[in-house]
């Protein structure tokens, strides 16, 4: 449906990148199905409430679910964008895509655990700040105390989270490098080559920040887990600076 709308509205992006993948391929359909399954895992991995109190308590994890879903959808959007721009179906792209899907499925549970825990803690603190003392809140606090992580476990969780992001964005970068190598075959013009190089640099930033976060944990241990988490806040800052730099470079070239 999205491809049909794009075909009717325009055949190029707002940046002037010509769409070469308006026709959905079996590879892209498989990828979309796996993404749908990954999001489903976020839901079905939770226990079904057996009473109303447990139902109320389950609502405390909705912040984590929102963050998980937003991250997965942002990754899906990048994947869809790649197929739309290049429409590649070569062997290397297929192998990289299969590796990507494997990492994605393996990454879902660490992702859910981390964001569910942090999201629940945030929501609990908000409710406590407003003076809430409900039975559901007390049940959630009791569950949090049981699942509280040790310093070593926090460090391990941050490493797992960082490795997932690293491999996902590393595969994206390699796929764009492969597309750039096929610039003659794809008939990429100067603007499209520039945009592709910009994508590659953006993914280099996106793999560099998880590496930095993991390095902090490896050097200073699990006690540095909060710092390693805050490092991810550098992503929007770094990408914004890079975007402004590339826009200036593009203006000079034009």
The DSSP line for 128-175 is HHTT---HHHHHHHHHHHHSPPPHHHHHHHHHHHHHHHHHHHHHHHHH
Is residue 7 assigned to a domain?
no
Is residue 78 assigned to a domain?
yes
Residues 143 and 28 in one domain: yes
Both tokens assigned to 199? 């994508």
Residues 59 and 125 in one domain: yes
Domain boundary among 103, 126, 148: 148
Is residue 193 assigned to a domain?
yes
Q: What is the pTM of this model?
A: 0.87
pLDDT digits 0-9 by tens, 80-109: 999 999 999 899 999 999 999 999 988 888
**Beta partners for 15?**
none
Residues 221 and 141 in one domain: no
Nearest to 160 by CA among 127, 114, 94: 114
Residues 130 and 197 in one domain: no
> What range defines the domain where residue 253 resides?
162-254
Residues 143 and 186 in one domain: no
What pLDDT score was predicted for residue 8? 43
CB crowding 15-51: b at 16 or more within 10 Å, else e: eebebbbeebeeebeebbebbeebbebbeeeeeeeee
Both tokens assigned to 140? 């959630």
Residues 28 and 143 in one domain: yes
How far is the CA of 113 from the CAs of 35, 103, 157, in angstroms? 18, 16, 9
What's the distance, Cα to Cα, between the start and end of the chain in Å? 35
Residues 143 and 173 in one domain: no
pLDDT digits 0-9 by tens, 186-241: 999 999 999 999 999 999 999 999 999 999 999 999 899 989 999 999 999 999 99
Q: What's the domain count of the chain?
A: 2
Categorize the per-residue pLDDT at 6 as very low, low, confident or very high, splitting at 50, 70 and 90: very low
Residues 126 and 45 in one domain: yes
């Amino acid at each position: 449906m999205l491809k049909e709308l794009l075909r009717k509205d325009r055949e190029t992006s707002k940046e002037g990148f010509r769409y070469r993948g308006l026709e959905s391929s079996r590879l892209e359909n498989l990828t979309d199905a796996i993404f749908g399954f990954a999001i489903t895992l976020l839901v079905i991995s939770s226990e079904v409430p057996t009473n109303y109190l447990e139902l109320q308590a389950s609502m405390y994890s909705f912040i984590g679910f929102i963050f998980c879903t937003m991250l997965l959808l942002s990754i899906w959007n990048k994947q869809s964008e790649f197929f739309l721009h290049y429409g590649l179906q070569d062997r290397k792209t297929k192998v990289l895509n299969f590796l990507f899907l494997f990492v994605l499925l393996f990454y879902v549970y660490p992702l859910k655990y981390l964001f569910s825990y942090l999201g629940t803690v945030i929501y609990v603190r908000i409710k406590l700040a407003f003076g809430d003392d409900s039975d559901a809140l007390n049940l959630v606090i009791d569950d949090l105390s049981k699942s509280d992580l040790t310093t070593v476990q926090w460090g391990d969780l941050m490493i797992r989270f960082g490795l997932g992001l690293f491999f996902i964005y590393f595969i994206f970068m390699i796929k764009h490098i492969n597309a750039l190598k096929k610039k003659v075959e794809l008939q990429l013009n100067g603007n499209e080559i520039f945009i592709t190089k910009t994508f590659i640099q953006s993914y280099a930033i996106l793999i560099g920040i998880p590496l930095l976060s993991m390095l902090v944990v490896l050097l200073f241990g699990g006690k540095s887990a909060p710092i390693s988490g805050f490092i991810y806040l550098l992503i929007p800052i770094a990408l914004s600076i890079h975007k402004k730099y590339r826009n200036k470079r593009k203006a000079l070239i034009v």
